C-alpha cells in the first residue's frame, strides 16, 4: 500500500506543479499575446486552443485529478500504517507474554501500557503522515527547482538562496528536541503508571484515607510533565517563528527581484507569477521539514522504548535445549526432589540457601515458614517462572529444566494468594484453562465451596465479576481461582496461601473436597494456618531459606522449633476464643 501512496504523491505533485505553468501561459500567451517560448507553452496552446476558457478547463481538470490522487494517497498511507501498527501491537503483546517473569519486577505496568499503546500510536502517525510528507518534500523540491530553472535560472537562484538555511535550521532543531521528547515521554510514563496504580488500588487508598496524599503525589508528577511539555512547546515556538521569518523573507526576495526584472523587461509577468506560486508551494513543505524531523525524533524515542520490550530476554521454551537434546514432555506422576537448590532474585538477596527435600507421588505436603522465607519461591521454581541459581530440581527423576515450560505449566496447577480474575463471567473464569461443560464447572465450584454463593447471584454463573474480580469478596475470588485449578485434574497442584481469605469452616470444606478429588495428585499447601496444614501427609518447615524440619504434624508438635511455637500460639488463641 505504501507503493500506491508514493505513486499517488508523485502524481499529486506533478498535477500541482502544472497549474502555475497554465497560469503563466494564460497571462503571457493568451492575454499578453506573446509567442510560445517554451515546451510547456507549446503544449498548452495545443491543449487549450489558446483560449482562456480552455485554460480554465485545464486548470479544473488538473485540480480534480490532484484532489483524487490526494485521496488515494491518504487512504493508502492510512491503510499501510494501520496494518503496521496492528502488527507491532500484536508483536509487543506476544513478546510481553514470552519475556522472563522477572522482567515485570523491574518495569512499571503503566509504563509498559504506554509503550504498547501511546508509543505505537506515535509510530503509526509518523508512518501515516510524515513518511509520505518526506517523499512529497523531496519530489516538490526536485520538480519545482527543475521547472523554475527552465523558466529563469537567475530568479531560480534567488528563489532557492535561503532554503539551505531553513534545512540546516530544521536539522539542528531535530537534534535539539529529540532528547526533550524522551524526557517528556518518561514524565508521561510516570503519570500513566501512577494513574494505573491508583485505579487498581482504589479500595486500599479509600480504606486508608490516602486520597489527599495520592492526589498531591499525582499533582507533582503532573506538574513535572506540564513543565517538560511546556519547554518542548517553547522550542517549537522559537522554531516556527524563526523559520516563518526566513520563509517570508525568501518570498519577499522573489517578489522584489521578479517585479524589478519584469519592469526592466528581462522576464515576463507570467513568469513572475509562476515563480511566486512555486515559491509558496516550495516554502510550506520546506517549513514543514522541521515538524517532520521533530516528529521523526519523537518516533525514534518511541521506537527505542518499544525496542527495549522486544529486545527483552524471553523464556527459552524451544523444543531443543542448548546441548542439542530435545525438550521432554513426559507423563508426570508427581514425584518432586530439590537437591541443593539456591535462589537469588535479580538485584536481591539470596532467598533459598541449599534446599534439599523429596516428595513422593500423590503426597499432600504442607509448607510453613515466616514471611520472606522462600515458600512462594518454591512454587515459582516448580513452574519455572524462575530458574534456580544453583542446584537441581527433579520431577519424577527428570531434571525440571529438561521439561518444556508450556507442557509443565499445563500439568501443574498453581493458585496464588492474590487471586487474579478476568473481567468476564464467573463460569468463564472457572473454565479459562480450557473447554468445559456446565457440569464440570459446577463440580469444581462445589469442591471449592463457592457454588452456594454463586447460586445467590442474580445471573449465577453468568455473573460478570468486573476487572480483577472487583465485584467479589477476597474469599470468593480465592475460591473461584481454586475452582479454576480443580476443573482439570493435574498431577501436581500448588496452593500458595490461597485459603487465607476464607473462614475456618470454609477452609475445612475445601480441604475435604480437595483431599477427596486429588487422591492421585501431589498437593503442596503453603499456609500460615496450621489447621490447613495439619492433615497433610508431611509438613515442610522453611526458615531463613533452609529446611529446618520435614515431618508429620504429630511428630513436629513434639519437637522444639517453629512449627511447635506456631501450634502453641494458634491453639492458645483458639482456646481463648472458645472460652
Burial group, residue 175, by CB count within 10 angstroms (0-12, 13-18, 19+) = exposed
Percent with pLDDT over 90 in the chain: 4
First to last CA, the chain: 80
The bridge status of strand 364-368 relative to strand 538-543 is parallel
Q: What is the pLDDT of residue 575?
A: 62
pLDDT at residue 322 greater than cutoff 70: no
456: number of Cβ within 10 Å? 8
CA–CA separation, 279 and 249 (whole Å) = 11
For the chain, domains (ranges, CATH) are 83-310 (1.20.1560.10), 336-411+490-578 (3.40.50.300), 420-474 (no CATH)
**pLDDT higher at 71 or 101:** 71
pLDDT at residue 400 greater than cutoff 70: yes
| Closest by CA position to 412, among listed 392, 388, 385, 439 | 385
Q: What is the pLDDT of residue 324?
A: 54
Coil, strand or helix at 313: coil
476-493: average pLDDT: 82
435: number of Cβ within 10 Å? 6
Q: What is the pLDDT of residue 254?
A: 87
209-213: average pLDDT: 79
**DSSP code, position 344:** E
Query: b/e map of 287-313 (b: 16 or more CB within 10 Å)?
Result: bbbbbbbbbbbbbbbbbebbeebeeee
Q: What is the pLDDT of residue 64?
A: 93
Q: What is the pLDDT of residue 168?
A: 82
pLDDT at residue 486 greater than cutoff 90: no
pLDDT at residue 177 greater than cutoff 60: yes
Look over the chain and give the mean of its residue pLDDT values, rounded to a whole number.
81
Least reliable range by pLDDT among 142-146, 148-152, 187-191, 517-521? 517-521
pLDDT at residue 69 greater than cutoff 80: yes
pLDDT at residue 414 greater than cutoff 80: yes
**pLDDT higher at 219 or 532:** 219
CA–CA separation, 23 and 217 (whole Å) = 62
- Show Cβ contacts of residue 497 under 8 Å, excluding neighbours closer than 6 positions: 375, 376, 417, 526, 527, 528
183-190: average pLDDT: 80
Dihedral sign for Cα atoms in the order 97, 102, 106, 108: positive
Coil, strand or helix at 20: helix
Contact present, 203 and 319 (Cβ < 8 Å): no
What radius of gyration, in Å, describes the C-alpha atoms of the chain? 36
Q: What is the DSSP string of 225-286?
A: HHHHHHHHHHHHHHHHHHHHHHHHHHHHHHHHHHHHHHHHTSS-HHHHHHHHHHHHHHHHHH
Query: b/e map of 465-479 (b: 16 or more CB within 10 Å)?
Result: beeebebbeebbbbb
The bridge status of strand 522-526 relative to strand 538-543 is unpaired
pLDDT at residue 284 greater than cutoff 50: yes
pTM: 0.67
Contact present, 307 and 166 (Cβ < 8 Å): no
Q: What is the DSSP string of 41-91?
A: HHHHHHHHTT-HHHHHHHHHHHHHHHHHHHHHHHHHHHHHHHHHHHHHHHH
Strand partners, 542: 547
Q: What is the pLDDT of residue 358?
A: 92
Contact present, 290 and 173 (Cβ < 8 Å): yes
Coil, strand or helix at 350: strand
| Closest by CA position to 169, among listed 282, 279, 246, 281 | 246
**DSSP code, position 126:** I
Q: What is the pLDDT of residue 323?
A: 55
Look at the chain and count its residues.
Answer: 579
pLDDT at residue 1 greater than cutoff 80: no
Per-residue pLDDT band at 320 (split at 50, 70, 90) = very low
pLDDT at residue 227 greater than cutoff 50: yes
Amino acid at each position: 500500500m505504501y507503493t500506491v501512496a508514493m505513486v499517488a504523491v508523485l502524481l499529486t505533485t506533478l498535477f500541482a506543479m502544472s497549474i502555475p505553468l497554465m497560469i503563466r501561459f494564460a497571462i503571457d500567451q493568451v492575454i499578453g499575446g506573446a509567442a510560445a517560448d517554451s515546451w510547456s507553452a507549446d503544449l498548452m496552446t495545443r491543449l487549450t486552443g489558446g483560449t482562456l476558457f480552455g485554460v480554465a478547463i485545464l486548470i479544473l481538470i488538473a485540480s480534480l485529478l490532484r484532489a483524487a490522487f490526494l485521496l488515494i494517497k491518504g487512504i493508502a498511507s492510512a491503510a499501510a500504517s494501520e496494518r503496521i501498527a496492528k502488527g507491532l501491537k500484536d508483536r509487543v503483546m506476544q513478546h510481553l507474554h514470552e519475556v522472563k517473569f522477572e522482567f515485570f519486577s523491574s518495569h512499571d505496568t503503566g509504563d509498559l501500557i504506554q509503550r504498547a499503546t501511546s508509543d505505537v500510536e506515535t509510530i503509526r502517525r509518523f508512518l501515516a503522515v510524515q513518511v509520505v510528507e518526506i517523499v512529497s518534500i523531496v519530489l516538490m523540491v526536485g520538480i519545482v527547482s527543475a521547472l523554475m530553472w527552465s523558466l529563469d535560472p537567475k530568479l531560480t537562484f534567488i528563489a532557492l538562496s535561503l532554503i539551505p538555511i531553513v534545512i540546516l535550521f530544521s536539522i539542528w532543531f531535530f537534534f535539539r528536541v529529540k532528547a526533550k521528547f524522551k524526557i517528556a515521554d518518561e514524565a508521561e510514563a510516570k503519570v500513566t503508571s501512577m494513574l494505573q496504580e491508583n485505579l487498581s488500588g482504589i479500595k486500599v487508598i479509600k480504606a486508608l484515607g490516602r486520597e489527599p496524599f495520592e492526589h498531591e503525589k499525582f499533582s507533582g508528577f503532573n506538574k513535572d510533565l506540564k513543565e517538560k511539555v511546556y519547554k518542548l512547546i517553547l522550542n517549537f515556538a522559537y522554531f516556527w517563528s524563526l523559520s516563518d521569518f526566513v520563509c517570508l523573507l525568501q518570498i519577499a526576495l522573489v517578489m522584489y527581484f521578479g517585479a524589478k526584472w519584469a519592469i526592466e523587461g528581462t522576464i515576463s509577468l507570467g513568469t513572475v507569477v509562476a515563480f511566486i506560486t512555486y515559491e509558496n508551494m516550495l516554502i510550506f513543505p520546506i517549513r514543514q521539514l522541521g515538524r517532520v524531523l521533530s516528529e521523526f525524533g519523537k518516533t525514534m524515542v518511541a521506537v527505542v522504548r518499544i525496542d527495549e520490550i522486544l529486545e527483552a530476554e524471553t523464556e527459552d521454551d524451544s523444543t531443543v535445549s542448548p546441548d542439542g537434546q530435545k525438550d521432554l514432555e513426559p507423563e508426570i506422576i508427581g514425584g518432586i526432589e530439590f537437591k541443593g537448590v539456591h535462589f537469588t532474585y535479580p538485584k536481591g538477596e539470596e532467598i533459598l540457601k541449599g534446599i534439599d527435600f523429596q516428595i513422593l507421588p500423590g503426597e499432600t505436603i504442607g509448607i510453613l515458614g515466616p514471611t520472606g522465607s522462600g515458600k512462594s519461591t518454591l512454587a515459582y521454581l516448580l513452574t519455572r517462572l524462575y530458574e534456580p541459581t544453583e542446584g537441581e530440581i527433579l520431577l519424577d527423576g527428570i531434571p525440571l529444566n529438561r521439561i518444556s515450560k508450556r507442557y509443565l505449566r499445563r500439568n501443574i496447577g498453581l493458585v496464588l494468594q492474590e487471586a487474579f480474575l478476568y473481567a468476564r463471567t464467573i463460569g468463564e473464569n472457572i473454565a479459562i484453562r480450557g473447554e468445559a461443560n456446565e457440569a464440570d464447572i459446577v463440580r469444581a465450584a462445589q469442591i471449592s465451596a463457592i457454588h452456594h454463593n454463586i447460586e445467590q447471584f442474580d445471573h449465577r454463573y453468568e455473573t460478570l465479576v468486573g476487572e480483577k474480580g472487583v465485584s467479589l469478596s477476597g474469599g470468593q475470588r480465592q475460591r473461584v481461582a481454586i475452582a479454576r485449578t480443580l476443573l482439570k485434574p493435574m498431577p501436581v497442584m500448588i496452593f500458595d496461601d490461597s485459603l487465607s481469605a476464607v473462614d475456618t469452616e470454609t477452609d475445612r470444606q475445601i480441604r475435604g473436597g480437595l483431599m477427596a478429588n486429588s487422591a492421585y495428585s501431589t498437593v503442596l499447601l503453603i499456609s500460615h494456618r496450621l489447621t490447613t496444614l495439619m492433615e497433610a501427609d508431611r509438613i515442610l518447615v522453611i526458615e531463613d531459606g533452609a529446611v529446618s524440619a520435614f515431618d508429620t504434624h504429630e511428630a513436629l508438635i513434639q519437637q522444639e522449633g517453629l512449627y511447635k511455637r506456631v501450634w502453641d500460639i494458634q491453639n492458645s488463641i483458639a482456646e481463648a476464643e472458645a472460652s
